[in-house]
Structure 1
Amino acid sequence: MPYPEPLTPEEKLTEAKELLSLPRIVAICGSTRFMAEMHEADVRETEAGRIVVKPGCDLKSPHPLWSDPDRAEALKARLDELHRAKIRLADEVLVVGDHIGDSTRAEIAHARSLGRPVRFTHPEVDPGPSPR
């Protein structure tokens, strides 16, 4: 008698979300120059009944935690990894802003490689399908 294949971590996460009856989770992505737009998107997505995860630090704005350039560089790497984890947790991604830089392009490719739907506040900036 063959045994069923064990669930992947992704499948376990999906199953856990369903068992917990969690609302859809949306990861907001985009350049931190669009932090005000991200806040507005957060309000709208929350009002629509979705859980929102988004960047929590704007390294372009002054703050004691990243005033030292060496600390800021190390923090950026940790924040990039944290944001990729937010994308893995999310059911879909919302890209905010009318410009796509290298970091956001990489986040979109990561989301699409995971099979996450990607929406845009400005659909004209969609870089298209990620190469496989």
Structure 2
Amino acid sequence: MSYPRPLTPEEKITDAKKLLCLPRIVVICGSTRFMTEMNEADLRETTAGHIVVKPGFDMKSPHGLRSDPADADALRVRLGDLHRAKIRLADEVLVVGDHIGDSTRAEIAYARSLGKPVQFTHPGAHPGVDSGADPDA
């Protein structure tokens, strides 16, 4: 007699979202230099009926939370962990902007490793990355 295998945490989240009738969840990724574009993408996705999560803090702009370099490094690590959690929660990733740096490349690779679809606001600006090729190549 075979027994059903237990659900993975990801499958449990997917099932819970279905049971709760949640709309599609889109996570916005990209350099925080594109915060204005991220806000526009947020508006478009929200008006399309999607739940949107995105970076909540711009590490490139001056702020008291970044005044101490050690604190800023610890904050950067915590925010990176938080953003990966947003990717795990999301149904889809939307990469905003016409430049992909190392952090965004890592986010794309992470999302793809989880089987998340990745869309781009500027697909032509990312040769090799949006085609499904290895983004670190």
Which interval holds the TM-score relative to the shorter structure? over 0.9
Pick which of 61-70 and 6-15 moved more. Answer: 61-70
1:49-128 alignment to 2 at 5 Å?
49-124=49-124, 125=126, 127=129, 128=131
Pick which of 86-95 and 119-128 moved more. Answer: 119-128
The offset of 1:83, in angstroms, is 0.3
Gaps of 5+ in 1: none
Contact in 2 for aligned 1:112/1:130 (Cα 8 Å): no
The offset of 1:3, in angstroms, is 1.1
**Residue identity (%):** 74
1:38 corresponds in structure 2 to 38
- Corresponding residue pairs, total: 131
Alpha carbon RMSD of aligned pairs, Å? 1.0
* Residues 76-113 of structure 1: per-residue CA shift (max 9 Å, x gap): 01101110000000000000000000000000000011
* Residues 38-72 of structure 1: per-residue CA shift (max 9 Å, x gap): 00000100000000000000011111111111110
Question: Structure 2 CA distance, aligned partners of 1:20 and 1:130?
Answer: 35
Gaps of 5+ in 2: none
2:18 corresponds in structure 1 to 18
Q: TM-score, normalised by structure 2?
A: 0.92
Question: Structure 2 CA distance, aligned partners of 1:97 and 1:67?
Answer: 27
Q: TM-score, normalised by structure 1?
A: 0.96
1:129 corresponds in structure 2 to 132
**Structure 1 stretches of 4+ moved >3 Å:** none
Question: Structure 1 CA distance, aligned partners of 2:6 and 2:80?
Answer: 30
Indicate the SS of the match to 1:52: strand
